[in-house]
Amino acid sequence: MDLPGDIIFKTSKDHTSDLHASILKQKTDKRFCDVTIKCGDSQFKAHKMILASATKYFEAMLFNDTKESETGIVEFPTMDSEVVKQCIDFIYSGTVGISMTVAHGLLDASVMMQMPKLSELCIEFLAENVNMRSCAEVMSLTRLHDKDYLELPIRKFLSSGFKKFRKTQDFLSLDYDSLVYCLGLIKNP
């Protein structure tokens, strides 16, 4: 006869990874999907529970009295479909492929969709890739999203590369506020 104090809990070492693999397969096979995300001409099937578990943005949208919860359709008419796909894939896998081509849109989308882990990965990528071609864009994103921690990599780049950077079209195209910001980073290292 078991006594209440005799209960020992055991955990399967494979349970979480098996469950995760099953969820990914269901998404890939479009099984049990109950929401469609539309972006331009692209459509992505997903699971409300997974989206809502990953972000408060989708939780509020899909489990309150909203058009999206009623229709099961979420629309992002102005977002790049590759960016939206990357966000959905990140929700399911925790992995994202970032390039300078999508970094700006991905950061904007992750902030809007309240995905702080994805935002962190975008910022980490941007910090590691400040160079002649990306400096102006990274400065713009730093100011737009109030990401002060991107200032250090920009300062490092500008401390050694400003003489070349000031001759680029990106530098010459900076608006007044961006120019003041850039020169402030150089002046106050």
What confidence category does residue 120 fall into, taking pLDDT thresholds of 50, 70 and 90? Answer: very high
Together in a domain, 64 and 93: yes
Element (H, E) at 39: strand 35-39
In a domain, 33, yes or no: yes
In a domain, 4, yes or no: no
Together in a domain, 43 and 89: yes
Together in a domain, 124 and 31: yes
In a domain, 18, yes or no: no
Residues 13-43 have pLDDT tens digits of 999 999 989 998 998 899 999 999 999 999 9
Report the SS3 class of residue 178.
Answer: helix
Overall residue count recorded for the chain in this entry: 189
Report the SS3 class of residue 45.
Answer: strand
CATH code (residue 103): 3.30.710.10
Together in a domain, 161 and 146: yes
Together in a domain, 107 and 170: no
Q: Which residues pair with 36 in a beta bridge?
A: 45, 73
Average pLDDT, rounded, for the chain:
90
CA-to-CA dists, residue 169 to 144, 154, 164, angstroms: 21, 17, 11
Expressed as residue numbers, the domain containing 46 is 27-129
Give the per-residue pLDDT at 62: 95
Total structural domains in the chain? Answer: 2
Report the SS3 class of residue 184.
Answer: helix
What percent of the chain is modeled with pLDDT above 90? Answer: 59
Cα-flanking dihedrals φ and ψ of residue 140, to 5°? -60, -45
Which of 150, 57, 145 lies closest to 108, judged by CA? Answer: 145
